[in-house]
Structure 1
Amino acid sequence: MDLFWRYGFATLPVLVFVSFYRMGDVLTLTLSHPLWNARGYSLEAISMADGAVALFASMAGVAIGGWIAARWRMGWALVIGALASAIGNWVFAWLWDTPLADGSLYLAAGIDQFGHGLAGAVFVVYLSMLVNPRYPAAQYAFLSGFAFLLPRLVAGASGTIQKVIGYDGFFVMSGALSLAAVILLPVVLRARSRPSDQPEPAA
Structure 2
Amino acid sequence: MSGYRVAALLATAGALYFAEGFGSTGFAYKHSAWTGTYVLFGLLMLPALVTTLIMREPPVPLRTQLSAARYGFTHQLASVFVLIVLLVSVPAMFTQLYNTDFASVLFNGTSWMDLLLEDRAFLRAILYTLLTFACLSSMGRRGLAPVLTPINDFIMRYRWQALLLLGLIATYRMSDTVMGVMANVFYIDQGFTKDQIASVSKIFGLIMTLLGAGAGGLLIVRFGIMPILFIGGFTSAATNILFLLLADMGPNVKMLILTISLDNLSSGLATSAFVAYLSSLTNLKFSATQYALLSSIMLLLPRLLGGYSGVVVEKFGYHNFFLITALLGIPTLVMIILQWSREIRTAKAEAPTEVSEIEKP
**Fold shared, TM-score > 0.5 on shorter chain:** yes
Q: Is the 8 A contact 1:90 1:171 kept in 2?
A: yes
List per-residue Cα deviations over 1:9-48 (Å, max 9, x = no partner): 1101111111111001211220111111111111111111
Partner of 1:49: 200
Partner of 2:157: 6
The list of structure 1 runs, each at least 4 consecutive aligned residues, that deviate by more than 3 angstroms after superposition, is none
Q: 1:188 to 1:177 in 2, by over 3 A?
A: same
Q: Give the secondary-structure state (helix, strand or coil) at the position aligned to 2:283.
A: coil
Partner of 2:174: 23
Question: Size of the alignment, in residue pairs?
Answer: 192
Residue in structure 2 matching 1:87, options 227, 238, 244: 238
Residue in structure 1 matching 2:277, options 101, 107, 126: 126
Separation of aligned partners in 2, 1:54 and 1:185 = 27
> Which letter maps to 2:308?
A
Gaps of 5+ in 1: 193-203
List per-residue Cα deviations over 1:120-142 (Å, max 9, x = no partner): 11100111110011111000001
Q: Is the 8 A contact 1:60 1:114 kept in 2?
A: yes
Q: Is the 8 A contact 1:88 1:113 kept in 2?
A: no
Q: CA deviation at 1:99?
A: 4.3
Percent identity between the two aligned chains? 30
TM-score (norm 1): 0.89
Matches within 5 A, 1:171-190: 171-189=322-340, 190=342
Partner of 2:256: 105
Separation of aligned partners in 1, 2:155 and 2:225 = 21
Q: Is the 8 A contact 2:168 2:335 kept in 1?
A: yes
Q: Give the secondary-structure state (helix, strand or coil) at the position aligned to 1:134.
A: helix
Partner of 2:218: 67
List per-residue Cα deviations over 1:169-188 (Å, max 9, x = no partner): 11121122124301112432
Partner of 2:23: none
Separation of aligned partners in 1, 2:270 and 2:329 = 10
> Which letter maps to 1:123?
F
> Which letter maps to 1:83?
F
Residue in structure 2 matching 1:32, options 183, 187, 199: 183
Partner of 2:310: 159
TM-align CA RMSD: 1.5
Partner of 1:196: none
Q: Is the 8 A contact 2:190 2:247 kept in 1?
A: yes
Separation of aligned partners in 2, 1:53 and 1:103 = 13
| Larger Rg over CA atoms | 2
> Which letter maps to 1:69?
I
Q: Is the 8 A contact 1:58 1:113 kept in 2?
A: yes
If asked which structure has higher relative contact order (CA below 8 Å, sep 6+), I would say 1
